Chains A and B, each alone.
Chain A
Amino acid sequence: MELILASAGSYPRIGDSFEAQRHRRAYAERERGAISEAEWREVEDETAIAVVREQAAAGLDVVTDGQVRWYDPISHLARHCEHVQINGLLRYFDTNFYFRQPVVSGPLRRLRPVLRRELEVARSATDRVVKPVLTGPYTLACGSILEGGYRSRRELARAYADVLAEEVADLAHAGVALIQVDEPELLRHPEDADVVRDGLARLAAVRGRAHLALYTYFGDALPVWDELMTMPVDIVGLDLTYGPKLADRIAEGGAPKMLALGAVDGRNTKLETAETLFRVLDRVLPHVRGPVALGPSCGLEFLPRARARAKLETLVRLARAYTDRAGRTA
Chain B
Amino acid sequence: MRRVEKLSEILEECVEAGLTGRRSIEASLALYPAHAEDLGPLLRTALSISDNFQSCGPSAAVEQRIRSRFLADAAARRSLRHLESSFEKRGWLSGLRRAVFSGFASAAAVVSNLVAITVGRVSLGGSD
Say whether A and B bind each other.
Answer: no
